[in-house]
Amino acid sequence: MSIFSKFSSRPPASPVEFIIAGLGNPGRDYVLTRHNAGFMCLDVLSERYGFKTDRLKFRSLTADVMINGHRCLVMRPQTYMNNSGEAIRDAAAFYKIPPEKCIIIFDDIDIPFASLRVKRKGSAGSHNGIKSIVYHLNSDNFPRIKIGVGNKPHPDYDLKDYVLSVFSKQEIKALESVMEKACDAVELIVAGDIDAAMQNCQITVKNN
């Protein structure tokens, strides 16, 4: 058997089944800011699975990863938060991935700090990145993993300044277990058990 026939007899690679997108803003100025909680979660996921999101594709830094036997495109959109939907739309269209298989990880100011919420679908709320995704996918029927970053400390505090503020060392430490749980949720959703993710991976923290 020739080497050419050996290669041709191999089964084709499985298609990409899921998009896993962590939201944030690119660049050093935004590292470890509240709005980059989605990027931070992908750091934990990349450590767990031993990959790097270093391939520029669909205006994102990406990695092609197998998770629980399913091929996933992991994405860090580089479009800045408010245009996140453009990158996810392009990837979803290319791989013909429906919204319900686009898993979005992002910061949420409307739940207490260090809380975790897993939702099958829902409205965009006040989050501009999610608004962009809903608009460009023409659907809100996508699973989302929401990482609580807390609300601004005072009503007069500028919201933009707050979400672009850097986590303290104590806050980063407190988020470690939250990020791990978020990655557990990703694994369950990819395995087809979003109900288990919603039941077992959520973290509830009461406001002081």
Is position 127 annotated as part of the catalytic site?
Answer: no
For residue 3, give every residue at least 6 positions away whose Cβ sits within 8 Å of its Cβ, in sequence order, or none.
none
CB 41 within 8 A of CB 105: yes
Phi then psi for residue 79, to 5 deg, are -90, 0
**Amino acid symbol at 191:** A
Q: What is the 3-state secondary structure (H, E, C) of the chain?
A: CCHHHHHHCCCCCCCCCEEEEECCCCCHHHCCEHHHHHHHHHHHHHHHHCCCCCEEECCEEEEEEEECCEEEEEEEECCCHHHHHHHHHHHHHHHCCCHHHEEEEEEECCCCCCCEEEECCCCCCCCHHHHHHHHHHCCCCCCEEEEECCCCCCCCCCHHHHHCCECCHHHHHHHHHHHHHHHHHHHHHHCCCHHHHHHHCCECCCCC
Q: Which one from 35, 70, 127, 136 is the annotated catalytic residue?
A: 35
Q: Which positions are annotated as active-site residues?
A: 35
